Amino acid sequence: MIGVDGCRAGWVAVTLDADGGWSCALHPSLVALWSAAEGARRIWLDMPIGLTDGLPADNGERGVESACRAVLGIRRNSVFNVPVRSAAYAPDYLAAKVANRVATGKGLSIQSWHITAKICEADGLLRFDPSIRGVVVESHPEVVFWALNGGAPMLNNKKTAAGRDERMAVLTRHYPQAGDVLAYAQTEILRRQAALDDVVDALCLAVGARFPVFATFPPEPKRDSFGLPMQVVYPVV
């Protein structure tokens, strides 16, 4: 099982093997990650999959973000609005804001714009290689932490020491070797390549993917115009 989060160097992936082994690695692209992950059963990715076209058909609403925010309470701001496809592929932020407003009547935050390159990378990979669908799915670390923590959101910001300790305590309950993964990242991965919270997020998704049963927000996901499901998966604990 593999959990993946975007980072400065590309993508950080934590792999948890059935025999108890684990690894933590950086990949410059999702194509490189997919090539290295041959045979993986589940890859949970912290990146939107499935983009709306806006206009009267869906008004740009995936249904994912509102469903996730409803359970996350004080962590609801960790769920960014996802641009419509025309905005995601726009050449610059101004063009993206205009495209999103034309399609939905709403602008686009700079936080959402900053992840559009990675959104498009995931979109392109899954659109043009259908064999990956069903293996690579969208998840969200704060939603998975909510599930692993008995339906309670994290109390502290993930970028603080208290937030990291809180999240690692939850992960260690479900995966005792979680501390070993973080210790490796602290010594072997440069901070200019990936922040520690990127590694914790990837580890969280890998731990969540180990559970045999999972559910989605929303419970009945819509599909985009390319057939990609618009959903966030999380473990049933």
The rounded distance, in Å, linking the Cα atoms of 102 and 228 is 23
Residue 102 domain-assigned?
Answer: no
Residue 170 domain-assigned?
Answer: yes
Which residues span the domain enclosing 27? 2-47+139-209
Domain total for the chain? 1
The 10 Å Cβ neighbour count of residue 128 is: 9
Residue 14 domain-assigned?
Answer: yes
Residue 157 domain-assigned?
Answer: yes
Residue 30 domain-assigned?
Answer: yes
Please state which of the ranges 54-58, 108-112, 179-183, 213-217 shows the lowest mean pLDDT.
Answer: 54-58
Span 133-149, pLDDT tens digits: 889 999 999 999 999 99
Strands (E), 104-180: 136-138
Q: What is the pTM of this model?
A: 0.95
CB 44 within 8 A of CB 12: no
Residue 37 domain-assigned?
Answer: yes
Span 51-99, pLDDT tens digits: 998 766 566 678 999 999 999 999 999 999 999 999 999 999 999 999 9
What Rg value do the Cα atoms of the chain yield, rounded? 17
